[in-house]
Amino acid sequence: MSQKQPLIVINVSNPAAFSGQSSIIVLEYTDEDAAMKVARKIALETGRSVTVRGGDNGVIETIPAAMTH
């Protein structure tokens, strides 16, 4: 019998989310290392904060929005 891989969820949030001019992106992974790599890249390239959560909805890590110049 095969075991189901634990789910890792990446949630990308925009500080202006309540202005009506933004979107929410949710990605699902089963490989935590791959999820963290993608989350860091998204934070760096979009300037948004990214929260990585486990399948139990517990926060694994929150990556702050990258500073833009």
pLDDT averages per 10-residue partition of the chain, 69 residues: 74 65 75 92 86 89 78
Q: State the pLDDT at residue 5.
A: 73
Buried b / exposed e across 11-32, counting CB within 10 Å, b at 16+?
bbbbeeeeeeeeeeeeeebeee
The two three-digit tokens of residue 40, written as one number: 């860091």
Residue 24: strand, helix, or coil: coil
Domain boundaries, the chain: 19-52
Beta-strand runs (E) in the chain: 8-13, 25-29, 49-54, 59-63
Q: State the pLDDT at residue 19.
A: 60
pTM of the model: 0.72
Instruction: With beta carbons less than 8 A apart as the criterion, state whether 61 and 36 touch.
Output: yes
Q: State the pLDDT at residue 18.
A: 56
